[in-house]
Structure 1
Amino acid sequence: MPIKSKITVTNIKNLVPTDKRLNDTEISGFHARITPLGLISYYLFYRLNGKQVNYRLGVDGQMTPAQARDLAKSKIADVTQGVDVQALRKQERTSTKYSKFSTLQYFLDEKYTPWLKSRNPKTAEKTVKAFKSSFPKLMDFQLSDINAWEIEKWRNKRLADGVKPATTNRQINTIKGCLSRAVEWGVIDNHDLRKVKTLTVDNSKVRYLSKDEERRLRESLRVCDTAFLEVIVLLAINTGMRKGELLSLQWHDINFDNKILTVDFQNAKSGNTRHLPLNTEAFNELIQWQKLSGNEGYVFKDRNNQPLKDFPSLWAEILDAANITHFRFHDLRHHFASKLVMASVDLNTVRELLGHSDLKMTLRYAHLAPEHKAAAVNLIC
């Protein structure tokens, strides 16, 4: 609930997300807002020509409560003289002098990418590269001009080109996150991409290997000339690790004494470290691979001791040799989860092994355990 008190350093520090808003008791319209994630911003509410305006003063951390108060007084003086400070800000941001500094390209290069690198340096470049490849025509747009209509047009074109709805959902979420960060940092006042609704996707259908397909895949791997491929595929089958997690895996991440493999938070999609027990096959594959490749640096590395890049051609050849169709490397992760569920492993354990942050993501495998549903309905008999 909104509370009333003088906006001071102490009162700002004591704000919690459930407070939502702190209204200053000395300056009418001056207030602070806190997001569910704890970000605090300062605002000034004013009326001009019958219009209500909420002017963003800045973000806590980039300005102190005292500085926000002084700025609020200054803007009130302008409004008293008939100046619409909100409209003036928009004019300044679209001026020729400012325009090149407020494009999506500039924001990505100068602000967003450095921030991503500070959080997860190993994946930042990949994330931004994918971002730019998804939205090349928006790079020269002013941030304030990227609206719901532009994104809807972009999505319609992507869908017409055959891009899957789930893919466009992920890509739209990336640009939503980027613009939300721009709002939090005071680069733009707001954005309306929340109006762009997520497309419904049926995640209940998962592709996993039949017993015969897995047998054929293993046979193809055994006769493959590329040594690392059998190891990385069998490791994926037995751990459910993502391809990126496997390619960034280092020998120091593996505790052979306790048979535990650690996925470092910097390489995990969820941003959380997880510890995976190694079963007999995974353990033996790593032991043998270590004898061939050494025990320092990356587990899967090139001649320059750098992590291996993607290997789509090799993967396609293996699938072709095994006569397996419509199966991505990522589907090995689904295969791992599906085998666990069909072996009656509870969904929460599957969630922990996969590193899902939400059980909803794991529920896509629930239909593979029909005995659980049967047992549930039998309880009321």
Structure 2
Amino acid sequence: MKPDSSLNQITQTMKRNDVDSVDGRFCESAQNMKTSVDVEDCCVEVMVRHHSTKNQREAFTKAFFDECKTRAIQTGRTIEASDTKCTGLKAIFHSSGRIKFIVRKSIRGKNVYVAVGSYPEFSINNAREHAFKIIQELKASVETYGERFLTHSKITFNELVEQYVKCVLSTGVKRSANTDLSKIRKYLRPLLGDKKLAGMTEADILAYLHALDLKPATRNRHLALIKAVFTWAIRMGYINRSPALYIKALPEVTSDRRAMDDSQLQRWMEVCEHWRNAKPDHEALALLRFLALTGLRLGETRHLRLEDVDWSHKMITLRHTKNGKLRRVPVCDKAFVLLTEQHQHLGDKGWVFPGNGTDNPVSEPRRLQKRLCEAAGIPPFTIHEMRHTFATKLIESGADINIVKDLLGHSTIKVTELYVHSSPARYHEAVNHAMANLNL
């Protein structure tokens, strides 16, 4: 079982004014605490003790826990007990009956409390194992970060994200920067920004993901961004363990990989060509037709430049690829004719599909794609489903799967195999061929 939180859960200073001794065991009152943090909710505090009585300790057992829990409920007071088998491991008994394990360690004169887990979901032995690891990591953190260990714990997640945007997303290195910035603006800041970095737990991240009214695949992208932020925070010395470390991605439902049949593709092509003849300089129409003829990704093709077309070998070089690596792709004759037409009216340099009145490539023509489908009298196929259509046509024509993989730019053959499995015509051909010689 994993702990509820990691060592980065260090919060505001809490002063205790009263310490009780209950039946010789170490117990403390929570009623007279002056605190800015609710111990019931967080149970992670930095405390300063003004006075205390001599405390007797006892090894944690189920019987001892039952007794302390009963006393906490009867007295209506929060009780803290110490384990003699693992110095630093504490158990908090709330008047509600809730029991939580924590670790207390003195860091540069301040008692740092770190949440471990709840009982009985977290067994006593589990708590001891994790407490030992946490104490070792706390010691290592102090050696590594020194004064920064406590200073960094005071910042909010919002402040951390601001630094991440400045140092990572604003550099132009990460291709998903714009998408990440959108997630940060719309979701991360409003829902997680006010939380103290040191007090963030795995439960906080899980609650955030659960609250998102988005598809599992999209929520997984949010998780990936959160993990990237915390990984960077570890490198920068703000924390030494990510609260999202053990969170696994949600299962993603594989799409139906819907593709146009021959008649639908034919009608779509006719409408696209008719509209383009009426507006020969309509770059979005040219882009959509090129995508249908090549099966390339929209993002890759929008950023294609005339200088990257090999006119002698009918090849193009894609620089703005999904994995960031250059990719050379041959194009069919019909696609090459379209490139030649673009070359004739645009010249030798610049975007193959330029935006109107800007220095940027043409905008993503998703709405135009929907109108084309409506005009063709077919269902509203997305631009990415045009890519599925291209792949399906290749598979059904008998193209080698490795050739399909290279043309589509898949990182592994497993992705390409999905197109094979989604092609009924391929299976019909195989079984018909196998059964053809039967005399029935």
**The TM-score by the shorter chain falls in which range?**
0.5 to 0.7
The offset of 1:180, in angstroms, is 2.2
| 1:75 alignment partner in structure 2 | 143
Matches within 5 A, 1:171-210: 171-203=222-254, 205-210=256-261
Deviations 1:25-60 (A, max 9, x none): xxxxxxxxxxxxxxxxxxxxxx97584434489xxx
> Matched residue of 1:205: which SS?
coil
1:246 to 2:246 alignment? no
Q: How does 1:154-303 map to 2 (within 5 A)?
A: 154-158=208-212, 161=213, 163-203=214-254, 205-224=256-275, 227-264=282-319, 267-302=320-355, 303=357
Determine the C-alpha separation between the residues in 2 that align with 1:75 and 1:237. 59
Normalised by the size of structure 1, how large is the TM-score?
0.67
Unaligned regions of 5+ residues in structure 1, if any?
A: 1-46, 58-70, 77-84
In 1, distance between residues paired with 2:394 and 2:265? Answer: 15
The count of corresponding residues between Structure 1 and Structure 2 is 296
What displacement does 1:201 show?
Answer: 2.4
Whether the aligned pair in 2 keeps the contact of 1:100 and 1:106 (CA below 8 Å) is no
- Looking at structure 2, the residues matched to 326 and 149 of structure 1 have their Cα atoms a distance apart, in angstroms, of 40
- Three-state SS of the structure 1 residue aligned to 2:317 is strand
Shift of 1:232: 1.0
Cα 1:255–1:143 shift into 2, 3 Å: farther
**What is the CA deviation profile of residues 318-366 of structure 1, one whole-angstrom value per residue up to 9, with x for unaligned ones?**
1221223342111111112111111222322222222222222222112
1:183·1:191 contact (CA, 8 Å) conserved in 2?
yes
2:404 maps to what in 1? 350
| Structure 2 segments unaligned to the other structure (5+ residues) | 1-85, 90-131, 436-440
Secondary structure of the 2:394 match is helix
CA contact (8 A) 2:157 2:194 kept: no
1:362 pairs with 2:416? yes
Residue 276 of structure 1 and its aligned partner are, at CA, apart by 0.5
* Aligned-residue offset at 1:144: 4.5
- Report runs of 4+ in structure 1 exceeding 6 Å deviation: 371-375
Secondary structure in 1 aligned to 2:239? coil
Query: What one-letter code is carried by the residue in structure 2 that aligns with 1:186?
Result: G
Paired AA for residue 143 in structure 2: K
- Identical counterparts, % of pairs: 24
Q: Secondary structure at the match of 2:168?
A: helix
Relative distance call for 1:176 and 1:255 in structure 2 (3 A) is same
Q: Which residue of 1 aligns with 2:167?
A: 111
Cα offset for 1:255? 0.8
The change in CA–CA distance for 1:178 and 1:293 in structure 2 (over 3 A counts) is same
CA deviation digits over 1:268-292, x for unaligned, max 9?
1112211100110110011012222
Q: For the structure 1 residues 182 and 214, does the alpha-carbon distance in structure 2 shift closer, same or farther, using more than 3 Å as the test?
A: same
Does the 8 A contact of 1:104 with 1:140 survive in 2?
A: no
Q: How far 1:204 sits from its partner (Å)?
A: 5.8
Q: Note the alpha carbon deviations across 1:176-221, whole angstroms, 9 max, x for none.
A: 2332233234332111324333222232620111111111211221
Contact 2:292/2:386 (8 A) holds in 1: yes
- Alignment CA distance shift 1:75-1:172 (3 Å): closer
- Structure possessing the higher radius of gyration over alpha carbons: 2
Cα distance in 1 between the residues matched to 2:88 and 2:205: 33
SS of the residue corresponding to residue 383 of structure 2 reads coil
Distance 1:174 1:230, change over 3 A: same
On the 8 A contact 1:235/1:282 being kept in 2, the answer is yes
Alignment counterpart, residue 312 of structure 1, candidates 345, 366, 371: 366
The answer to whether the 8 A contact 1:179-1:191 is kept is: yes
